[in-house]
Structure 1
Amino acid sequence: MGGVNDTKTALVTGANKGIGFAIAQGLGALGFRVAVGARDDVRRKEAVEKLQAAGIDAFGVGLDVTSNESVAAAAQTVEQTAGRLDVLVNNAGIAGPIDDGAQDPTTLDLDVLRTVLDTNVFGVVRVTNAMLPLLRRADSPRIVNMSSNMGSLTLQTGPILAAYAPSKSMLNSITAVYARQFDGTNVIVNAACPGYVATDFNNYNGFRTPEEGAGIAIRLATLPDDGPRGGFFDDAGPVSW
């Protein structure tokens, strides 16, 4: 058995419920120490306790991806607890208001667009860049950005959501740009599509379980050093941009 330093640490944002929790659970079952990133103190504590009860080494990290201060403090917490970060899963995301045509492009309130982008895009950049110094200390750092095929300009799936869908298109583009920047390094970044998962995100309308949705993220988080870079994947393989 190796020492404590051999334990790999994964931070999952928005990990207190749904797909995020399932990703934390899956990585924990593979032997990762899991940092549960979540805004809500009570839900975060409950998620950590649930994971620990399942025999997983987990700790909570207060994390509001829309706040520079919160993200900086989260990086400090991870550093103090683990010393480095092996995996970052940017899972935290919001749909934004969708009732009563709130995301009809012809009447879109720009504040709705701003709010969705702040979490789904700016939040990912904010967290990734804050965690990069810790990721660079790892032997095989992996970054997984949770996207959606609703952001695919080729497929154009799902209902017309003029804030959410473009936020995932931009997240895909950001993922590709990071991958180019990391070319020639040991940092591997990809985007994942979990499929249509039943969570409170869509009023449990999806037909896949959170565990099924988490599968692709777990695979991309544990890629070998010669694994794919800068791609967009679901369970079946590459997804069209």
Structure 2
Amino acid sequence: MSKFTAANVPEHVAIIMDGNGRWANSRGLPRTMGHRKGVEAVREAVRTAGEIGIRYLTLFAFSSENWRRPEAEVSDLMGLLKAFIRRDLAELHTQNVRVRVIGDRKNLRGDVLPLLLEAEDTTRGNTGVTLVIAFNYGSRDEMTRAMQSLALDVAQGRLAPEQITSETISSRMDTAGIPDPDLILRTSGEERLSNFLLWQAAYAELIFVSELWPDFTREVFLAALEKYGRRERRFGGLSQPQTLAVGS
């Protein structure tokens, strides 16, 4: 197995995990089988991130729009999430992974929220990779809730309008305390953000890969990171070249 060495690894990588259904359909399988195969890709991505020194890995697990999918598919996705937490939480904890969940937590069904809270509480003291699970998440909804919070503070006299800055807004986002993503990666060949981290993506590098999410291997991840390493990040100013290499 190749060893990834980096002079400048992205601190925060966010991934839109797309293509589970198409992976299954192309093989004549139920869509649920694509989601199940996708869980294996999640495990591989978390392991790879930890090995090469990525500090934050955000995975778009379930959007606020996904509730519109067929009830059977939604139920299967919920079951997979719960199975992942129940089966993998101990291993994540052993690997020093910290779990954090972003998204609207109101009105979540059944025992999903307690399990998410358990994952956060169990791993709160860990200092390795922070695995950010975007669940029941939509960026416009996140921004709306942040604006409502700020508006309430202004209305009640706790905050003056001129005190609202980009930093103040960021502090009300679900991602408060998490650095903005350096890289947003999407699988399946689609080239859009789909209501994911719109505020936080202001200066992120975007990379789109053709592989469907169940086929997202360590090698695909490393190749995307090498591509990121060749980018020049300017942030509106002078370039900041990256240096990434894969060695044997």
TM-score computed with the length of structure 1 as normaliser: 0.38
Structure (1 or 2) with the larger CA radius of gyration: 2
Higher relative CO (Cα under 8 Å, sequence separation at least 6) belongs to: 2
